[in-house]
Structure 1
Amino acid sequence: MPELHFDRLAEPLWPLLNKFYRSHNSSMKALKGGQLWVARNSEIVAGLCLSPVVGGQWLTGLFVDPALRGQGLATRLIAHAIAPAEGTVWLLCHPDLEGFYTAQGFSQQTVLPQSLAERLVRYKRNKPMIAMGVCRQG
């Protein structure tokens, strides 16, 4: 595999992340107003979004090309994306992913901002979900 680069995607290139999601039939969407991070060689092979919330950032849209899973891309992309973050980085995920995110330093021992707490309640009406966070000093 060619060398991968982990970068924050410039705003004019944001449609490329949504194109990547769609090409894999993913329901993920890049959120406007956030920071989009990607792993890429000649093409995007993984992406995520960090959106500002009170006290930190909300991590959403983590997706790795299925053909490249199991190679640590998600771990490396998360590390690059949250390294400059200050405050807490939160995420909402299926309980089956707890072990993966715990290995990245996230914990369920976190206090959600109200906007994410309300979202978690809504999401849990339709599927099992947990909230996790990791405190960053920047």
Structure 2
Amino acid sequence: MTAIVYAPLEAPLWPLMNKFYRSHQSSMKAVKDAQLWVARQEEIIAGLCLRPVAHGYWLTGLFVAPALRGQGVAGELVRGAAATCEGPVWLFCDPELQGFYEHLGFSLDVDLPHALHERLVRYQRNKAMIALGTTPSCRAPDPGTAPQ
């Protein structure tokens, strides 16, 4: 099997991200004002968006092809993308995913920019949603380099 490559998606290839989402009946969409990151095994197998907000980034659109879930693809993609960010990274997720993101260096103790706080409040009207965030100095190291 081909090795998985984690990298930003170049602007001319952005339509491939939406094609990936659609092929899995996901409602997620790649946005033009974001950095798009993908995991590839020849084809795109996972993706996410990093949207500039205030003095950091909002991570959205994390999706892994169902056949490859549970194999560490999402974690590696988030780690790789977040490692390139100068400033905090925030995300919204279902409370059941809190442990997954905490393992990657995110925490509940987060100071959201006003625009994200307002959006979170709107989202919480319809579903359970929490905000998590991290700063570059707090991000989890790659498990291969973590002290034992």
Q: TM-score, normalised by structure 2?
A: 0.91
Instruction: Structure 1: state its 5+ residue gaps.
Output: none
* Corresponding residue number in structure 1 for 2:66: 66
CA distance in 2, matches of 1:21, 1:132: 24
CA distance in 2, matches of 1:37, 1:63: 11
RMSD, aligned CA: 1.1
CA distance in 2, matches of 1:73, 1:6: 9
* Corresponding residue number in structure 1 for 2:46: 46
* Corresponding residue number in structure 2 for 1:35: 35
Q: Describe the superposition over 1:21-45 as per-residue Cα deviations: whole angstroms up to 9, x where unpaired.
A: 0000011111211100000021000
CA distance in 1, matches of 2:90, 2:136: 11
* Corresponding residue number in structure 1 for 2:7: 7
State the shift of 1:55 in Å: 1.6
Q: Which runs of 4+ in 1 moved over 2 A?
A: none
* Corresponding residue number in structure 2 for 1:131: 131
State the shift of 1:116 in Å: 0.3
CA distance in 2, matches of 1:69, 1:128: 22
CA distance in 1, matches of 2:22, 2:62: 13
State the shift of 1:52 in Å: 0.1
State the shift of 1:121 in Å: 0.5
CA distance in 1, matches of 2:97, 2:32: 25
CA distance in 1, matches of 2:31, 2:100: 23
Q: TM-score, normalised by structure 1?
A: 0.97
* Corresponding residue number in structure 2 for 1:19: 19
Secondary structure of 1:6's partner?
strand
% same residue: 61
